[in-house]
Homo-oligomer: A and B are copies of this chain.
Amino acid sequence: MASIQEEVKLLGVKGSPFVCRVEIALKLKGVEYKFIQENLHNKSDLLLKYNPIYKKVPVLVHNEKPLSESLVIVEYIDDAWKGNPILPAEPYQRALARFWSKFIDDKVFAAVRKAVFTIDEKERENGIEESLEALQFLENELKDKKFFGGEEFGLVDIAAIIIAFWVPIFEEVAGLQLFTSEKFPKLYNWSQEFINHPVVKESLPPREPLLGFFKGLRENLAASK
C-alpha cells in the first residue's frame, strides 16, 4: 500500500507506553514516520484538531487521516500494511488477541496504576492485590510460548510492553515488588525476551529519565496528600 505520497505522522510523547505501542507496530512493519513531540501541558493545535475528543496522544495521522486510541491504531497498522502480521489470521485466535490486549488496559494497567499512584493506603493495597491477580492470568495464558503471539510477537505482546518495561520502573519508584521472576517466571522471561527484541529495543525510551519523571510524579502526589 506504500506510495510516493505516503505520509505518516505520529503525535506523541517519548516515555508514554501507549505511544510506544504504536512505535513498535510501525517499526515492525517497516513504516517510515515522522515523530511529532507533544507538550501535554501546552497541547498543540495539531493535537486538538486531530483528537478533539480525548485530546491525548498517541495520534497517528496517515495521509491526513487521524486516528487515536493506541490499540485501535495498532490494529489499523496491521490492516493497512501487510507483512509481519500483528494479529493472527484465524478468527478465534484474533478474538483472543483482542480480548487479552483489552484485559491489559482494563485490568492490569488500571490495577498497577492504583498500586503505584494512589495516596489512600487501603486503595493501594487493593491495587497491589488486583495487580497480582491480573498478572497471574497472563502468566497462565503465556503457557510455554516464547511470545503471547507464539514464535513472533503480536498484539498482546505490544499491548503488554507496559508490563515488560514500565511496570519495573513503577516498582522501583514505589518500592514495590509486583512482577518478579519468582512470582511470575514465565512472564518475567517473556519480558526479557521482548524488551531485547531488536524492534522493541529501538522503540523504547531511555530508562533513567523516565525513572526520574515517575519519581517526581509520585513525590508530587505524596506532597499533595
Contact = CB atoms under 8 A, between A and B. Distances in A.
Interface of A: 53, 62, 65, 67-69, 72-73, 75-76, 79-80, 91-92, 94-96, 98-99, 102-103, 107, 137
- CB-based closest 4 A-B pairs: A79-B91, A76-B95, A80-B91, A72-B98
Dominant SS at the A interface?
helix
This protein's copies in its complex: 2
Contacts of A103: 53
Given A98-B75, A103-B53, A92 B69 contact: no
Contacts of A69: 98-99, 102
Nearest to A63: B92
Contact of A75 (B80, B95, B107, B137): B95
Contacts of A76: 91-92, 94-95
Nearest to A101: B72
